[in-house]
């Protein structure tokens, strides 16, 4: 499999359950950020996986599952927000603050054009932003978010308190959000 990425191998080698396990958490995190209500966000993501299950023969043709799934969850979130705002206008079910929040989230999703960047570009931007973090902050962030290690494990290994690890992750996320503000929807999808 020389010359293929992990994402490419994921679609070609793994079955549907592995795709679900690998991508569901990021998709749900992304949907929750924009849809707000966790149950509604879960429904959106579950609907995407129902669609994938029903059309699983198409999975073999997908070369970048991360981009494909990001695009699906983004579009389904936009559809949800449009329906929510439309229903709220008819029924008056949202107060002014909620209405503005949903409008802002819809605008930010619609404004983000993921087709302008390749996976390689996004990966490079993310790697460069992570490299600009202070050393300890970078190491903790990588262990926590990219290697999926628990705060307690990192704290024990580095001789730090769990609170220090949490603080360093929060600092890293804040700096990455500032650094990658033009790519925030994709960043949320990748790391939360």
The verdict on 107 and 124 lying in the same domain is no
The verdict on 83 and 140 lying in the same domain is no
The verdict on 104 and 178 lying in the same domain is no
Other Cβ atoms less than 10 A from the Cβ of 109: the count is 19
The verdict on 62 and 43 lying in the same domain is yes
Taking only the tens place, the pLDDT of each residue in 171-184 is 998 888 888 776 76
Closest CA to 169 of 128, 147, 185: 147
Residue 155 has pLDDT above 50, yes or no: yes
Residue identified by tokens 């990748």 is 190
The tally of domains found in the chain comes to 2
Distance, CA of 83 to CA of 89 (rounded, Å): 10
DSSP 128: H
Name residues whose C-beta falls within 8 Å of residue 174's C-beta, 6 or more positions apart in sequence. none
The verdict on 123 and 107 lying in the same domain is no
Structural domain includes residue 155: yes
The verdict on 66 and 96 lying in the same domain is yes
**Domain region containing 146:** 119-191
Band the pLDDT of 91: cuts 50, 70, 90.
confident
What is the pLDDT, as a whole number, of residue 59? 72
Among 111, 131, 151, the domain boundary falls at 111
Structural domain includes residue 136: yes
Q: Is the dihedral of CA 93, 102, 175, 119 positive or negative?
A: positive
Structural domain includes residue 100: yes
The verdict on 102 and 10 lying in the same domain is yes
pTM equals 0.60
Structural domain includes residue 170: yes
Structural domain includes residue 145: yes
Could you tell me the two tokens for 180?
């990658």
Other Cβ atoms less than 10 A from the Cβ of 168: the count is 24
Name residues whose C-beta falls within 8 Å of residue 62's C-beta, 6 or more positions apart in sequence. 11, 68
Residue 4 has pLDDT above 50, yes or no: no
Residue 7 has pLDDT above 50, yes or no: no
The verdict on 31 and 79 lying in the same domain is yes
For residue 182, the domain's CATH number is: 1.10.10.10
The verdict on 159 and 185 lying in the same domain is yes
What is the pLDDT, as a whole number, of residue 80? 93
What is the pLDDT, as a whole number, of residue 35? 87
DSSP 168-184: HHHHHHHHHHHHTGGGH
Structural domain includes residue 1: no
The verdict on 88 and 175 lying in the same domain is no
- Share of residues in the chain with pLDDT > 70 (%): 82
The verdict on 80 and 144 lying in the same domain is no
What is the pLDDT, as a whole number, of residue 124? 81
The verdict on 91 and 129 lying in the same domain is no
SS3 73: helix
Looking at residues 32-53, what average pLDDT do you find?
A: 90
Among 65, 92, 111, the domain boundary falls at 111
């Amino acid at each position: 499999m020389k010359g293929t990425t992990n994402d490419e191998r994921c679609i070609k080698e793994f079955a549907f359950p592995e795709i679900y396990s690998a991508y569901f958490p990021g998709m749900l995190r992304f949907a929750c950020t924009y849809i707000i209500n966790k149950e509604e966000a879960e429904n959106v993501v579950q609907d995407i996986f129902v669609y994938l299950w029903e059309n699983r023969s198409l999975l073999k043709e997908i070369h970048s599952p991360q981009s494909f799934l990001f695009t699906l969850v983004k579009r389904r979130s936009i559809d949800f927000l449009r329906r929510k705002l439309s229903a709220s206008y008819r029924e008056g079910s949202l107060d002014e603050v909620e209405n503005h929040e949903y409008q802002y989230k819809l605008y930010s999703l619609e404004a983000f054009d993921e087709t302008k960047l390749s996976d390689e570009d996004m990966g490079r931007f993310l790697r460069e932003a992570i490299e600009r973090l202070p050393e300890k902050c970078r190491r903790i962030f990588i262990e926590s978010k990219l290697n999926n290690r628990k705060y307690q494990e990192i704290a024990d290994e580095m001789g730090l308190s769990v609170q220090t690890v949490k603080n360093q992750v929060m600092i890293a996320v804040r700096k990455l959000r500032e650094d990658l503000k033009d790519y925030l929807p994709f960043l949320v999808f990748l790391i939360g």
